[in-house]
Amino acid sequence: MDISNNDKMVLVTGGSGFIASYCIIALLNKGFKVKASLRSLNRIADVKQMLSTGGISDFDHLSFVEADLSKEDGWQEAVRGCTYVIHPASPTPRPDATHEDEFIIPAVNGVLHVLRAAKYAGVKRVVLTSAFGAIGFGTDKKTPYTEEDWSDPNKNIPAYQKSKTLSERAAWEFIKNEGNGLELSVVNPFGVLGPVLGADYSHSIQMIHQMLSGKLKGLPKMRFGYVDVRDVASLHVSAMINPVANGERFLAVAGKAMSMLDIANILRENFGDEAAKVPGKEIPDWLIRITALFNSKIKLIVPFLGVTKEASHDKATRLLDWHPRSNREAVYATAESLIRLGLVN
């Protein structure tokens, strides 16, 4: 434990979320006091259970506050006394969403609610969890994407990626025009994998869950980058405390993009009978497009068919000495935890 951190409080928004939970774990392990925001304090027991699964046994330096991204009320109380804010809370993809504004409006407003409250409270720095979705969509780049790239919200891009793009843009505009010295760093994770702590985990992990449980009968043809949630959390903490991170974006990605077949092969190679239901063949794009007409969950992946997105973590490594786990290790840890916690049917 770093004794010098004992007097520093960090607000982590959306404390029940997958990335947020690991940020809380990383901060507590470094000796920070943590205040976690929840939409309902009824979730406190659930969050503590997840943190316990992640190795936390002492909750003396953890407190909770109720705050909702859709409302400005509550955020000034949430940030009171905090030196830093880590803001992972944001709407996540839902198959039942009927309009993109169901993602965009709460994402943009939520960022501004948090930044305004942080400015008035005298917070030193906010670290915003954005996404690769704000970097690599609406463009077709052959070389790896970097932090200099931005998604084009004027193109036909999925609602979640559009919400991440517009909310991050709104954050940088706020800092430029109204920040008054408030510092901002941004972390842009690719698909987040890693050990689950309970039933709340990233939408990227749902793919591995569906493979293991036999719900996925074939593999869509698409390739993406991935990163372990533990490394995402460590990057947030580094971006929070390192002076050189002020005003910077950092891509969180482990290595070369993987296809779903690559992931399936890792599962079959490592988990024997537990991976007996993992599919071994790719599905033609045309069949997925037809299925999507009748299945709202399948419809979410149609925009990614045939897509390969590569990205580089060189900047995070160069400026923050960040060295993520391999994709293979992240996939293994994801599946092992799903099986160990009895979450695979």
- What does the pLDDT read at residue 110? 92
DSSP E strands in 46-142: the ranges are 62-66, 84-87, 125-129
- What does the pLDDT read at residue 294? 85
Going from the C-alpha of 214 to that of each of 89, 170, 280, 305, 309, the distances in angstroms are 30, 41, 11, 21, 27
Confirm if 124 and 243 have CB atoms less than 8 A apart: no
The 10 Å CB-count burial string (b at 16+, else e) for 88-105 is bbbbebeeeeeebeebbb
34 secondary structure, DSSP code: E
Q: What is the pTM of this model?
A: 0.94
- What does the pLDDT read at residue 70? 85
Which residues are CB-contacts of 144 (< 8 A; sequence separation ≥ 6)? Answer: 310, 311, 312
Transcribe 138-153 into DSSP letters.
S---SSPB-TT----T
Token representation of residue 258? 């993987």
Going from the C-alpha of 168 to that of each of 95, 110, 139, 153, the distances in angstroms are 23, 11, 18, 12
Which residues are CB-contacts of 138 (< 8 A; sequence separation ≥ 6)? Answer: 151, 152, 153, 154, 155, 156, 157
- What does the pLDDT read at residue 92? 59
Regions of the chain where pLDDT drops below 70: 1-4, 6, 91-97
Sole residue written with tokens 């052959």: 142
Cα 136 to chain centroid distance, Å, stands at: 15
- Cβ atoms < 10 Å from Cβ of 276: 10
- The closest alpha carbon to 135, from 93, 105, 159, 165, belongs to 165
Confirm if 100 and 157 have CB atoms less than 8 A apart: no
> Domain boundaries in the chain?
3-194+228-253+311-325
CATH classification of 3-194+228-253+311-325 is 3.40.50.720, yes or no?
A: yes
The burial of 134, by beta-carbon neighbours within 10 Å (0-12 exposed, 13-18 middle, 19 or more buried), is given as: buried
- What does the pLDDT read at residue 253? 97
Cα 96 to chain centroid distance, Å, stands at: 20
Sole residue written with tokens 């493979």: 211
274 secondary structure, DSSP code: G
- What does the pLDDT read at residue 27? 98
Pairing relation of β-strands 258-259 and 223-224?
antiparallel
42 secondary structure, DSSP code: G
Going from the C-alpha of 245 to that of each of 1, 90, 157, 242, the distances in angstroms are 23, 22, 29, 6
- Mapped onto helix, strand or coil, the DSSP state of residue 35 is strand
- What does the pLDDT read at residue 174? 98
The burial of 316, by beta-carbon neighbours within 10 Å (0-12 exposed, 13-18 middle, 19 or more buried), is given as: buried
State the catalytic residue, choosing from 8, 35, 164, 221: 164
pLDDT in tens, 317-333: 999 999 999 999 999 99
- What does the pLDDT read at residue 202? 78
Token representation of residue 234? 């460590």
Residue 164 falls in the annotated catalytic set: yes
Query: What would you report as the CA-atom Rg of the chain, rounded to the nearest whole angstrom?
Result: 19
Cα 284 to chain centroid distance, Å, stands at: 29
Q: Which amino acid is at 264?
A: A
- The closest alpha carbon to 252, from 266, 269, 232, 229, belongs to 232
- What does the pLDDT read at residue 201? 80
